[in-house]
Structure 1
Amino acid sequence: MSPHRPRGESVLADRIPRGGVARDIAVLMTCHNRRGRTLAAISSMHAQTGLPAGTRCTVHLVDAGSADGTADAVRAAFPDTDVVTVGADVYWGAGTRIAAARADPEAHVLWLNDDVILEPGALAALLRTAGPLERPAVVVGAMRSSDGTRTTYSGYRLVRDRLRPPTLERIEPDSKHAKRCDSCNGNAVLVTAPARRVLGDLDPAFPHRMGDNDYGLRALRAGIPLLLAPGHLGTCDDNSAAVRGTSAEPGIGVRTALRRLVSVREMPPAPWWRYCRRHLGLWAPLVFCSPYVKTVLQCTSLRTDP
């Protein structure tokens, strides 16, 4: 490896033939206490094949106060990874913004969750779907469950009905063709540099959830193509089914459920109101209140808080 390579440039660049149009891609990741998964995700990034000549990748990892040695393990296994450790109070949205601030501001960026295992041709598929990288585009990679039975994360279609609030409906990827979508999950998303210049990075109003949905809807409003790449580009199990420690855990009281619901992990009121007001029009107040009211009703129907 050349000693003159800039800090953070991935060894993936060594596998790419020289020449052609350079494509600088900054891979933005956030992790917390998932050492094995994080290492596997970065390994899958290094194993990418079929990339255009001249592609250069940098991996920027924000370690949110991991106590399991994640940061040191990544530095040892992938010494060219740009690793920065921050507090445990930094979640996905804020971590992705920190990673973006450390990246080349003119680079295309790939949001990559630390529990995603990319298929070897995933990045090449995202680049092909984006088309000419001189144009604005946001490209989403659909994820499947580890048992291969279902789609877990993908793009979304915005469904409008005069009698009901707008909703996001998940799109199943086509095996051969890209699909237009209106929003996305942020598990594996390529944002071209021209799109980034228009949209910026994730809105700091969303420290964890909702930032990816907001970004997709802002791209839609700005007229920037939001595309779902063909096929499933990786595996990532759906974490929404886990209820232990969440507001949906059975047997907890109203106060406990609401405390969990308004935490940064779930539906903190300020970001949630920003999202509703920005994207839901006249329906915003009703949709904003609904998760809190629903949680209270569900808890009180089962038990009362001591």
Structure 2
Amino acid sequence: MKSVAILLTVHNRKEKTYKCLNSVYKNIEKITEYDFDVYLTDDGSTDGTYTMVKENFSKVKVIKGNGNLFWCRGMYVAWKEACNTKDYDYYIWLNDDVELFDESLENGIKLCNKVNNYAIITGAFRSKKNGDLTYGAKFIDDKKVGPNGKLQEIQIFFGNFIVVPNNVVKKIGIIDPTYKHAYGDNDYSLRALKNNIKVYLMPEYVGYCEAHSYTEKYMDPKQSVKNRFKALYSPVYTPHDAFVYNYRYFSLFKALRIVLQLHIITLFPRLKNKK
């Protein structure tokens, strides 16, 4: 029987984590031809997430973090633990703020089979409130892509729902812990393309996920200059990671330009708001 590792990293979103895991196990219960294990990095949650997971989803393999891993490094820890445990046939990333539709897991794996298990499959999400696309995929020019009923070749995905077959892992490795929080998902998609591995968006929506509507603190004019720079250099969004990502996949000029723009926006956030 082929094996699948589902990977998550969570922090203080107990109710969302519960809904996500509940939808995961509803999917798993209906699948008989694959063996599933769930690896979850709990990065220092203080809201009872760990206890909730243990009481309601006892089969989940929980790895405890100290609160300094953030999303990308948390996913790295979960993925590394899975790789050290077993040579899985598939690795599936999930964000804990998603609720999967029935059969989404099975459909993602089937599509991997369809492309000979040598491509990455990603899924799109819509809002439960209005049905609009919230997270899908995009091209390098930032053009967003949503489901159209067909398997679409795309360039950049987000880490909400990703199916990575073991053949791809053997070729390009796992997510890069150089990044703390952001960019790790985008980096992995472009690394795949750089190695002639295609990335596809599934034909239909795979679940619900609400869009993040908050303004980043580093561009919030209501914040003091000191607080804006503190936010800019926080692990959530750091010029270092922005530089590494843009230098790797675009150019030194673009990397320097992006970092300069980040600092200008932090100093003068109203310039960003005028665009």
TM score, norm. by length of structure 1: 0.82
> Is the 8 Å Cα contact of residues 138 and 156 (structure 2) preserved in structure 1?
yes
CA distance in 2, matches of 1:129, 1:170: 21
Counterpart for residue 143 of structure 2: 169
Q: CA 1:32–1:49 in 2, change beyond 3 Å: closer, same or farther?
A: closer
CA distance in 2, matches of 1:187, 1:118: 10
Q: CA 1:217–1:300 in 2, change beyond 3 Å: closer, same or farther?
A: closer
Counterpart for residue 65 of structure 1: 44
RMSD over aligned CA atoms reads 2.1
Counterpart for residue 298 of structure 1: 269
Counterpart for residue 76 of structure 1: 55
CA distance in 2, matches of 1:193, 1:218: 15
> Secondary structure of 2:202's partner?
strand
Between structure 1 and structure 2, the one with the greater Rg is: 1
Larger helix share, 1 or 2: 2
Counterpart for residue 147 of structure 1: 129
| Residue 38 of structure 1: how far off its partner (Å) | 0.5
AA partner of residue 162 (structure 2): V
> Is the 8 Å Cα contact of residues 26 and 57 (structure 1) preserved in structure 2?
yes
Counterpart for residue 249 of structure 2: 279
Q: 2:22 aligns with which of 43, 68, 71?
A: 43
> In the TM superposition, what are the counterparts of 1:125-144 in structure 2 within 5 Å?
125-132=107-114, 135-144=117-126
Q: CA 1:51–1:170 in 2, change beyond 3 Å: closer, same or farther?
A: farther
| Residue 111 of structure 1: how far off its partner (Å) | 0.6
Q: CA 1:208–1:256 in 2, change beyond 3 Å: closer, same or farther?
A: same
CA distance in 2, matches of 1:192, 1:35: 29
> Is the 8 Å Cα contact of residues 252 and 299 (structure 1) preserved in structure 2?
no
> Secondary structure of 1:42's partner?
helix
Counterpart for residue 79 of structure 2: 100
| Residue 94 of structure 1: how far off its partner (Å) | 0.6
> In the TM superposition, what are the counterparts of 1:108-257 in structure 2 within 5 Å?
108-132=90-114, 135-159=117-141, 168-174=142-148, 176-239=149-212, 241-243=213-215, 246-257=217-228
Counterpart for residue 164 of structure 1: none
CA distance in 1, matches of 2:30, 2:169: 21
> Is the 8 Å Cα contact of residues 217 and 223 (structure 2) preserved in structure 1?
no
| Residue 284 of structure 1: how far off its partner (Å) | 2.5
> Is the 8 Å Cα contact of residues 220 and 269 (structure 2) preserved in structure 1?
no
CA distance in 1, matches of 2:131, 2:262: 29
> Is the 8 Å Cα contact of residues 2 and 34 (structure 2) preserved in structure 1?
yes
| Residue 134 of structure 1: how far off its partner (Å) | 5.4
Any idea what the Cα deviations from partners look like across 1:87-108, whole Å, max 9, x if unmatched? 1112110111111111145211
CA distance in 1, matches of 2:144, 2:95: 18
CA distance in 2, matches of 1:212, 1:150: 22
Aligned length: 269
Unaligned stretches of 5+ residues in structure 1: 1-21, 160-167
Any idea what the Cα deviations from partners look like across 1:194-244, whole Å, max 9, x if unmatched? 0111111111111110000011111111111100001110111111x213x
> Is the 8 Å Cα contact of residues 72 and 182 (structure 2) preserved in structure 1?
yes
Any idea what the Cα deviations from partners look like across 1:17-63, whole Å, max 9, x if unmatched? xxxxx221101011111111111101100011696642011101111
Percent sequence identity is 26
